[in-house]
Amino acid sequence: MNAVAYRPSRRPTATGLSERPINIYVIFGHEDVYMPRLYENESETLLGEITDSQLQALIEHMEGASIEDGCFVVHDALVAALYDAPIDESIREMLWVGLADSDSFVLGWETD
């Protein structure tokens, strides 16, 4: 996993350190970090990015939902039921955005 650390520092000069700080960013690790993306399947509208653990929790709590071609059919009662599950508020908000003015939508996701 990549991590970025920020540390203010001073720029070296011929007579010592400057008074003006510079920013140094240190990156730990070198592999790319990819976050799973949720989208509305039919229009391919991106709803947002979540972590792998958030995706697994969502899949576990949507097991009772209808599945079409590996995607979930989401409706307002299903999203409302997720308030009793340990699902992040940001995910529920993404699902409400996907519903918009419709009764249901097909939720898809990409993991790589």
Taking 70 as the threshold, does the pLDDT of residue 24 lie above it?
no
Give the model's pLDDT for residue 109. 87
- Cα separations in angstroms, 88 against 30, 50, 57, 67: 28, 10, 9, 22
Tell me what the pLDDT averaged over the chain comes to: 75
Give the model's pLDDT for residue 64. 62
Express each pLDDT in 44-99 by its tens digit.
Answer: 899 999 998 898 888 888 866 656 556 888 998 888 888 888 889 999 999 999 99
95 vs 4, more confident? 95
